Chains A and B, each alone.
Chain A
Amino acid sequence: MAFSNSKPFRIGVTLLRLALGGIFIYAAYVKLAEPWQLFSAGIRSYEILPDPLADLLARTLPWFELLVGILLVVGRWLRFSSVTMSALLMVFFSLMVRAAVKGQTIECGCFGPGETISWKTLLRDGSMLAGSLLLTLVAFVNRRKPAATA
């Protein structure tokens, strides 16, 4: 199986990679610009992790998001960065769906404070996940064709 090597497809994949990388860098920036306790409160409100783990995640996850975002933007280690991004987005999306199904009116925690989980946030993160899965697929299928990958 090989993806199209047509120019429009390659341009589209490159733009998608830059957009998702940029979004991850922005998401990391808005979290790192605030004291970590704000993000920890957001994680704790999902009622999944014990408090010490939520705190640890709040201190480390934004740096990880930043790393993944930078790798995507510069186009290095694409298999690693796209798989990591897909895994992260899958976890985020699942947790948001779970919260929505449970009827929790809590913060998404995606891009800083003040954003409640809604169909809009689900649609946005779902679209990002779909885009990320496509990038992952392209990165792996075209792994022996560096010129054809994004």
Chain B
Amino acid sequence: MKTSVAALALLLPCLAGAPDYGKGKGLGNPAAPLLVEMYSDFQCPHCKHLHETFIPGFVKDYVTTGKVYFVCREFPLPGFGPKSREAAAYATAAGKIGRFEEVSNALFANQASWAMSGKIWETVASVLSPAEQTKVQALMKDPAIAGEVQHDVDTGAKIPVRSTPTLVVTYRLQQRPWDYWQDDGKLFRGYLDGLLKQ
């Protein structure tokens, strides 16, 4: 415990000067015992499946109950081309005005449509008010948004995130990447329960 406090104290000056990565993309109590970061790609079909089947129940059972602080990270895969990165940038920009969840839901729900047509902005705009659209478009011109996406990619690659979706669990300052979803997350829930009992 003392070691953790000392490590945090040493890190604080670094954190104070760091860019505000992940703003608006976190859900729950930041002081929760577990941090779970989801690295995903808006064009990845498995990410869409996880987002629509596993995540709602996970948020209800673990995030709203204060057990987990959940943060979404961008991990646009090169294989999907530039549209993934653009979608990630829009979602990140929307996060800055507190509309990440809505934009993220829209991008996953209409994945096949915008991936085919390339109409990413139209999908994003459909869940934003005109004033919000203006703000997001202005933010998209800020290189910090693309920088944040790249930061997520670089951070994920170091963990290492090998595929999407990957949920990285941080507990007692140690990160564990989890990319096994063939059982729709049953084993992952058991793992979280096990960590919470420790």
Residue in A35, A106, A114 whose beta carbon sits within 8 Å of that of B191 in the complex: A35
Nearest first, the 9 closest Cβ-Cβ pairs linking A and B are A35-B194, A37-B191, A41-B180, A113-B176, A37-B190, A105-B162, A37-B187, A35-B191, A38-B191
- Asked if A45 CB lies within 8 Å of chain B CBs, one says yes
Chain B min CB distance to A105 (Å): 5
Q: Is the CB of A51 within 8 A of B175?
A: no
- Asked if B183 CB lies within 8 Å of chain A CBs, one says yes
Number of A-B contacts (CB under 8 A): 46
Residue in B159, B182, B190 whose beta carbon sits within 8 Å of that of A114 in the complex: B159
Q: Enumerate chain B residues within 8 angstroms of A106, measured Cβ to Cβ.
A: 162
Q: Enumerate chain B residues within 8 angstroms of A41, measured Cβ to Cβ.
A: 178, 180, 187-188, 191
Complex alpha-carbon distance, A113 and B182, angstroms:
18
Number of interface residues of B (CB under 8 A): 21
Within 8 A of B (CB), among A36-80: 36-38, 40-41, 44-45, 51
Contact residues of A with B, CB < 8 Å?
34-38, 40-41, 44-45, 51, 105-106, 112-114, 116
Complex alpha-carbon distance, A1 and B157, angstroms:
51
Within 8 A of A (CB), among B150-183: 159-160, 162-163, 175-180, 182-183
- Asked if B55 CB lies within 8 Å of chain A CBs, one says no
Closest to B162 in A: A105
Known: A34-B176, A113-B177. A51 touches B183 (CB 8 A): yes
Known: A34-B176, A41-B178, A45-B180. A116 touches B162 (CB 8 A): yes
Q: Is the CB of B177 within 8 A of A44?
A: no
Q: Enumerate chain B residues within 8 angstroms of A45, measured Cβ to Cβ.
A: 179-180
Q: Is the CB of A114 within 8 A of B187?
A: no
Q: Is the CB of B195 within 8 A of A35?
A: yes
Residue with the highest number of chain A CB atoms closer than 10 Å, among B163, B176, B179, B187: B187
Complex alpha-carbon distance, A106 and B197, angstroms:
27
Known: A45-B180, A51-B183. A114 touches B175 (CB 8 A): yes
Within 8 A of A (CB), among B107-148: none
Complex alpha-carbon distance, A116 and B180, angstroms:
14
Closest to B181 in A: A41
Residue in A35, A51, A116 whose beta carbon sits within 8 Å of that of B160 in the complex: A116
Q: Enumerate chain B residues within 8 angstroms of A36, measured Cβ to Cβ.
A: 194
Residue in B163, B182, B191, B193 whose beta carbon sits within 8 Å of that of A105 in the complex: B163
Q: Is the CB of A44 within 8 A of B182?
A: yes
Complex alpha-carbon distance, A36 and B160, angstroms:
21
Complex alpha-carbon distance, A35 and B196, angstroms:
10
Residue with the highest number of chain B CB atoms closer than 10 Å, among A34, A45, A112: A34
Chain B min CB distance to A120 (Å): 13
Closest to A55 in B: B187
Q: Is the CB of B176 within 8 A of A38?
A: yes
Q: Is the CB of B177 within 8 A of A114?
A: yes
Q: Enumerate chain A residues within 8 angstroms of B193, measured Cβ to Cβ.
A: 35
Complex alpha-carbon distance, A79 and B183, angstroms:
40
Q: Enumerate chain A residues within 8 angstroms of B198, measured Cβ to Cβ.
A: 35
Complex alpha-carbon distance, A105 and B166, angstroms:
13
